[in-house]
Amino acid sequence: MSARTKARKRALDMLYGADVRDQPIHVILTAEAARAAHEPAREASWLYAREIVDGVFDHAAEIDEQLETYAQGWTLARMPVVDRAILRIGVWEMLFNPQVPVAVAIDEAVEAAKQFSTDDSAGFVNGLLGKIAQANALG
């Protein structure tokens, strides 16, 4: 597993944890930073995970607007928490991180959905991110 894939998983864990526990993201980031400082093997994935979480937080309104606009028949509140976190990471990478090709952002999000969510989630994530990419003339 690549360092970026590990970082995405760490970011997913943090975003999911903040949402489920209804904790501010800075509390989660502080705890993860402390863990990363004591686990040098995880340091490579920590920096990009932090960048993702900071980016999702900084652009939350724009990201959630994209999701609400293109998720036909689905509100953010209705989405499974893990899907919501996966989608937020995918949208951030597509719209706000030019270093990640759109196809890679979508593929990584679909793989995360396959691994961590329901049987239907991968198709939902793929379709929604594809609509957002097309609407924003990406890729």
Query: Domain range holding 80?
Result: 3-135
Residue at 43: amino acid letter = E
CA distance 56 to 68: 15
Global pTM value: 0.93
The total of structural domains in the chain comes to 1
What are the backbone angles phi and psi of residue 106, rounded to the nearest 5°? -65, -45
Residue pair 66/132 in contact by the 8 Å Cβ criterion: yes
* pLDDT per residue of the chain (139 residues) written in tens, 0 to 9: 788 999 999 999 999 999 999 988 888 888 888 887 788 777 778 889 999 999 999 999 999 999 999 998 899 999 999 999 999 999 999 999 999 999 999 999 999 999 999 989 999 999 999 999 999 887 5
pLDDT of residue 34: 82
CATH classification at residue 22? 1.10.940.10
